[in-house]
Structure 1
Amino acid sequence: MTTRILPVVGDADAARSITTLLSQLPDAEPAGPVGDSTSLIDTLARLAAESIDELPEVVLVHERIGPVPALELIREVALRFPAVGVILVTADASPGLFSAAMDSGARGLVGLPLSYEELAQRVQAAAAWSVGVRRHLGHGGDVFTGPGGTVVTVSGAKGGVGTTVAAVQLALAAKASGMTVALADMDLQAGDVASYLDVQFRRSIVDLATIQDISPRVLQDAVFTHHTGIGLLLAPGEGERGEEINDRSVRQIVSALRNRYEVVIIDCGTQTTSANAAAIEMADTTLLLTTPDVVAVRAAKRMVKLWDRLQIRKAEETTIVVNRYMRNTEIQPPLIEKITSTKVSRVVIPANFKELHASVDAGRMQDLESKSTVKQALWGLAGELGLVKTPEGTEKQGKFKGDRGSVGVRRGRSK
């Protein structure tokens, strides 16, 4: 049997060394190396979307990979692609690291400098394990086999631009179309998702902070199921407890949510912390809300540059959503796109706070009337982002009034 092997190595010299040795293994089919954690997850997700049989049997992760650290990357691969055997390649073959690698989901550890015999043994064992898991998955429909749900983060350029309203309505739109949806509040010190949906729940995201392996049962205990059907993972009631959540715990939490729900919406608030930065880095789509005024657009530009400097998200990978849009404003979406070097959503949210007033004051955003132009636009945005199920052969945006050219949608460039 041919064993497909995908090396994940950032260093060019190490990549050549590993690829050369892999090519000498019997019945091995090494692929070209990928150079970072993001490329690995994207590659595996694309292959898994076609078929589980398209995934490589073995992935070799070099210790100096980035931007996600090697052990965290192994954990994410093990959670999202359980039919892939992961091997850590490291110069530190100590019992402590071996134990940590196994806890993260690795199927073996190979020391540096590489030994042909050791590498062959580890690859053979990992490949045999992978084949066994795939045989099991072929008969078990309740085992996760796909690339995972879609993760969308929603951030605000500054306070008061409508971040939480947008996150809540996107989640409601996805759920209304038949998706399984989670809404996580990672505005850890000032999260308001619970207030907007009239929820009182003692558990929060902090309850998952120190758990090393978030099982479906553990996740279920921390998630509040709203009467709309959305699973809510809420911010702590005591803002200072937000410090208990770090980037490592966020990676585990987001991976666990992705494995259980088809759509995961994360409200990241307006501050960039190590926690929500990890969520933004892992997201399939990153939204940044702004209003069409000088202060907010400058704040959006600063945020985009900050994410780029910290290697969280590139500008071209960020989507700006313009809220409180008016046709007669001087700052139009094309100008915002030029200033921020991002792409701007073609769906814009109209300035009509009066529609929201009653629902916001009552803390019942789920009761916002269907005829609301704000709701129509946000649900149209959900369609644009592919967060809704639609009948085959129809456009995703077509089922929403907000995408019929009358409300909240730019059909062409504004002058």
Structure 2
Amino acid sequence: MTTRILPAVGDPDAARSVTTLLSQLPDAEPAAPVGDSTQLIDTLARLAGESLDELPEVVLVHERIGPVPALELIREVSLRFPAIGVVLITADASPGLFSAAMESGARGLVTLPVSYEELANRVQSAAQWSVGVRRHLGSGGDVFTGPGGTVITVSGAKGGVGATVTAVQLALASQASGQTVALVDMDLQSGDIASYLDVQFRRSIVDLAAIADISPRVLSDAVFSHSTGLALLLAPGEGERGEEVSDRSARQIVSALRSRYEVVVIDCGSQLQGAGAAAIEMADTAVLVTTPDVIAVRGAKRTVRMWERLQIRKAEETLTLVNRFIRNTEIQPPLIEKITGTRMANTAVPANFKELQGAVDAGRMHELDAKSTVKQALWGLAGELGIVKLPAGADRSGGKNAGKFKNDRGSIGRPRRRRDGDSGGRGTTEGTR
């Protein structure tokens, strides 16, 4: 049997050494090394998206991989791709590290400098384990399967710009189209999704913070099944308990949700905490909500710069949504795009709070009138983000939704260069006059 091996080694010299040894293993099919944790997860997700049979039997993780630490990366790979045998390569052969690696999901440990005999033994053992798991994976065991769903984070440039309303409506739009959706409140100290959806709850995200191995059964016990079909993972009722959710536990929680649901929408609030930072870093799309006023736009710029300094997310990888948009305001989306350096959503949400007030006051955001221009714009944004199931050939740009703003982008993923003299698009606010 041929063993497919994917090394994740950031150091070029170590990568060459490991690749040379792997090429000498009998019946081994080593892939080209990946240089960081993000590239490893993306590669595995792509292979799993084609077919679970395309996944390698063995993944080698070098101790100096980054930006996610090696043990956290092993935990994420083991959780999202449970049929892969992960082997850690490290200079630390202490019992403490060995125990920590096994708890994270590793199937073996190879010490540096790497010897051929030890590498061959660990790879063979991990491959045999992987083959056995794949043989029984279809028997309905309590494990996560599949490449994982899409993670969208929603953050506010400052408090009160509409991040929570945006997150709730994105989740509702995705669920209404037939997706399985989890809505997470990671505004840990002041999150209020429960109030927006009229929920009385006992369990929260804090109940998962101290669990080392989040199985589907454990996860299902922590989420609240809403009448709309959304799975809600809520912020704690006591804000001080939010400190119990570390960045490490947040990564594990997001990975567990992503493996269980097709779409995961996370409200990160406007204050950056370790847990929220981890979620934003892991997200497929990070949405930053602002309003077209000086204070909010300054807040958006400050947030984006902070994310860049902390190496959480680059400005060009952030999607900015303009909420409460008015056509004749001085601050237009092209100016916000220039100030923040982010990509602008094709959709802008019109300023029409009167439509929302009844639903907000009653805590029934899920019952917002379908004719609401705000709802139509946010559901159009969900289509733009690709988190709704649409008929073949349907337009994801928002169609005739109110508040639509078209810029010079063909899609949110690939900005097109502007031609000289092109000043960008203009906004509209249909139905808001």
Q: TM-score, normalised by structure 1?
A: 0.96
For residues 140-162 of structure 1, what are the alpha-carbon distances to aligned partners after superposition, in whole Å with 9 as ceiling and x for unaligned?
59864321111111000101100
Residue 14 (structure 2) pairs with residue 50 (structure 1): no
Measured in 1, the distance between the counterparts of 2:139 and 2:243 equals 43
Task: Confirm or deny: 8 A CA contact 1:225 1:231 kept in the other structure.
Answer: yes
Which consecutive aligned stretches of 4+ in structure 1 deviate over 3 angstroms post-superposition?
137-145
Aligned to 1:195: 195
Match of 1:64, SS? coil
CA distance in 2, matches of 1:361, 1:108: 55
Give the Cα–Cα distance (whole angstroms) in 2 for the partners of residues 291 and 297 of structure 1.
7
Q: Is the Cα contact below 8 Å between 2:373 and 2:401 reproduced in 1? A: no
AA at the equivalent of 1:366? H
Contact in 2 for aligned 1:405/1:411 (Cα 8 Å): no
Corresponding residue of 1:339: 339
**Which moves more between the two structures, 268-277 or 127-136?**
127-136
Number of the residue aligned with 2:402? 407
Instruction: Between 371-380 and 199-208, report the one with greater CA deviation.
Output: 199-208
Q: Which residue matches 1:326?
A: 326
CA contact 2:142–2:217 (8 Å) conserved in 1: no
Cα distance between partner residues in 2 of 1:47 and 1:316? 26
Aligned to 2:207: 207
1:74 aligns with 2:74: yes
Q: What letter matches 2:7 in structure 1?
A: P
Report matched runs for 1:219-230 at 5 Å: 219-230=219-230
What secondary structure, in the 3-state scheme, does the structure 2 residue paired with 1:173 have? helix
Distance of aligned partners of 1:29 and 1:414 in 2 relative to their CA distance in 1, 3 Å threshold: same
- Contact residue 322 and residue 333 of structure 2 kept, 8 A: yes
Relative to structure 1, the CA distance from residue 62 to residue 270 in structure 2 (aligned partners, 3 Å threshold; closer, same or farther) is same
2:402 is matched by which residue type in structure 1? V
Question: Secondary structure of the equivalent of 1:93?
Answer: coil
2:175 alignment partner, SS class: helix
Equivalent position amino acid for 1:414 in 2: G
Cα shift at 1:405: 3.5
The 2-side partners of 1:395 and 1:132 are apart by 44
Q: Which residue of 1 is the match for residue 418 of structure 2?
A: none
After superposition, residues 238-253 of structure 1 pair within 5 angstroms as: 238-253=238-253
Structure 2 length normalisation: TM-score? 0.92
1:400 corresponding residue in structure 2:
none
Q: Which amino acid aligns with 1:349?
A: V
| Residue aligning to 1:20 | 20
Moved more, 49-58 or 141-150: 141-150
Cα distance in 1 between the residues matched to 2:346 and 2:392: 23
Q: For 1:114 and 1:406, how far apart are their aligned partners in 2? A: 59
Q: 1:100 to 1:266 in 2, by over 3 A?
A: same
The corresponding residue for 2:255 is 255
Question: 1:390 Cα shift?
Answer: 2.0
Question: Which residue of the partner structure matches residue 271 of structure 1?
Answer: 271
Q: How far does the alpha carbon of each residue in 1:291-335 deviate from its partner, in whole angstroms, 9 at most, with x for none?
A: 111111111111111111111111111111111111111221122
CA–CA distance in structure 2, aligned partners of residues 242 and 32 of structure 1: 41
**Aligned residue pairs: how many?**
410
| Shift, 1:2, TM fit | 2.2
Aligned twin of 1:179: 179
Question: What's the offset of the Cα at 1:133?
Answer: 2.1
Separation in 2 of the partners of 1:142 and 1:241?
29
Structure 1 residues 134-173: aligned runs within 5 Å: 134-137=134-137, 144-173=144-173
Q: Distance in 1 between matches of 2:374 and 2:157?
A: 19
1:174 aligned counterpart, secondary structure: helix
Aligned ranges for residues 28-67 of structure 1 at < 5 Å? 28-67=28-67
Specify the alignment match of 1:121 in structure 2.
Answer: 121
Unaligned 5+ runs, structure 2: 408-423, 427-433
3-state SS of paired residue (1:120): helix
Q: Distance in 2 between matches of 1:31 and 1:310?
A: 31
Distance 1:279 1:66 in 2: 16
CA contact (8 A) 1:389 1:396 kept: no
2:142·2:216 contact (CA, 8 Å) conserved in 1? no
Q: Unaligned regions of 5+ residues in structure 1, if any?
A: 398-402
1:190-235 Cα distance to aligned partner (Å, 9 max, x none): 0010111111111111111111111122111111111111111111
Partners of 1:140 and 1:393 in 2: how far apart?
35
* Distance (whole Å) between structure 1 residues aligned to residue 83 and residue 177 of structure 2: 30
| Aligned-partner SS, 1:148 | coil
Instruction: Summarize deviations over 1:257-296 as a string: whole Å, max 9, x none.
Output: 1111111110000011111101111111110001111111
Give the letter aligned to residue 332 of structure 1: Q
CA distance in 2, matches of 1:24, 1:283: 38
Q: Percent identity?
A: 78
**Partners of 2:103 and 2:264 in 1: how far apart?**
26
Query: Aligned partners of 2:87 and 2:94: how far apart in 1?
Result: 15
Partners of 1:377 and 1:408 within 8 A in 2: yes
Q: Which residue of 2 aligns with 1:293?
A: 293
Q: Which residue of 2 aligns with 1:87?
A: 87
